[in-house]
Amino acid sequence: MNRPIPEQQPNADSELARPSFVHAQSGFAEPVHHAMRFIKKVPEITVYFWIIKLLTTAMGETTSDYLVHQLNPLIAVALGGVGLLVALVLQLSVRRYMPAIYWLAVVMVAIFGTMAADVLHIGLGIPYLVSTVFFAVALAIIFVVWYMSEKTLSIHSIYTRRRELFYWATVMATFALGTAAGDMTASTMGLGYLSSGILFAVLFAVPALAYWLLGLNEILAFWFAYIVTRPLGASFADWIGKSHALGGLGLGTGKVSLGLTILIVGFVGYLTLTHKDSKSEQKNF
């Protein structure tokens, strides 16, 4: 889902840059395009991106549940917040996309985003429907402000600090929204974890098919799918890890979290060695 889109490019004096066709007129289009590959702060959207994204959403759900049951919930949330802050500082401090640092930030967003949504329901007694609507509105506001400021919502344009901040604010809102929505379907609507997972799997396929077959706008298709990955991964993780009494298989959140962590480390290590998620010629959705 990363067909080339004309974007503005940064220079030393301004966050906004001259369009690439200006460089093309002087014969420097290819060098500039090549250089941009190394200053973008996010990966290319390949099949590896979606696999790791789903694994992180599942891992964030089980790890959050494990921590709040093994530790004092306040301490667990505090540790999650500190971990997220450290991960985001690392991500913002590097000058280009680095798989280990980027996916560490995503993992910490997944863990803390789950905790944030759970705090609203369990700690404050706010219904999942209300929290789902709240996070949906918050996400919509972020999108509107981002677009008004940058005139694009494309993640292929994340090479300025301001755009990166918008991107991570959006990511955090999508995780919180997805957590609340997944819990709402599983608990409030009574679908259970497995049925919820199947529902969100179907919803995840919708933008992909619409993009490939109907020409749906790639930015809209990406963010729709991105939001749905959160409840999709979390629902199946809950189904595997939760007890039989809660409608799960009873494997245990700790074991599921450990297994998912190993898979994430393996995939990220593979991408670090092969750079398959940082090559602009990749064309996967």
Q: pLDDT of 85-140, one tens digit each? A: 999 999 999 988 999 999 999 999 999 888 877 777 777 778 888 888 988 999 99
State mean pLDDT over 225-254. Answer: 89
Share of the chain above pLDDT 90, in %: 49
Q: How confident is the model at residue 261 (pLDDT cuts 50, 70, 90)?
A: very high
User: How far apart (Å, rounded) are the C-alpha atoms in residues 140 and 131?
Assistant: 14
- The helix/strand/coil state of 19 is strand
Q: What is the pLDDT of residue 166?
A: 95
pTM: 0.81
- Determine which of 64-78, 115-129, 236-250 has the lowest per-residue pLDDT on average: 115-129
Task: Check whether 145 has a pLDDT greater than 50.
Answer: yes
Q: What is the pLDDT of residue 127?
A: 87
User: How far apart (Å, rounded) are the C-alpha atoms in residues 37 and 189?
Assistant: 44
Taking alpha carbons only, the member of 153, 49, 213, 76 closest to residue 205 is 213
- The helix/strand/coil state of 181 is helix
CB atoms within 10 A of CB 38: 11
State mean pLDDT over 199-207. Answer: 94
